[in-house]
Structure 1
């Protein structure tokens, strides 16, 4: 019986040695793969020796001659926002105050002007200008008597 077991034990030992060889080969190949991945995609992938010639900037002295200079002076206009075209349809929304009585003297306030702001709004398949009008009010009685002139105006609606 020991004669039959001894060849089997030798075969098992040979198989273990083969498995150990394959494991070593697998680990070596896995390490080579990881190293290649790190070289290609790792942190230092930009320092490839083959790319040194791409940005080979030689240091040259640049001689600047100052005798061929000219001075140019000009006035620059401040950029202005262009008006929206007059042919666009407009929707006028008036933001008015409710209380038109002067808090100082109690007289009725008169309209002294208005602020107009326009916003271009795109409605699918339709473009129109929304015009917000905010009348300004002041008290004539306070103006004539040289007391404090309070100007009232509705607040500007929120805009994105």
Structure 2
């Protein structure tokens, strides 16, 4: 690629990167809630990737699914500023005896962004 007026190789590389990632840049510029990088996501899943080898021995597909569900609950609690242990206890207490009659209303009461949950699990 010819330099076409660019002073340095770094400037040329930066422009090429910008052109190659035009769609992502447009999304970022149009929606202020979109993070500039995915570093937070990468840090969040790092512990999952590290533990993945241990989970190969979950015993069964059902056991592996249970590990995944529990991991999702813990990470959702962390992402919402909750103490995972307190959040899990809260969910278990709220859902005790109601598993056969789950409704959207009951599930809304235990979501990590619910006001009462945030109050009790921080």
Does TM-score exceed 0.5, indicating one fold? no
**Which structure has greater strand proportion?**
1
TM-score norm. by structure 1 comes to 0.17
Greater Rg by CA: 1
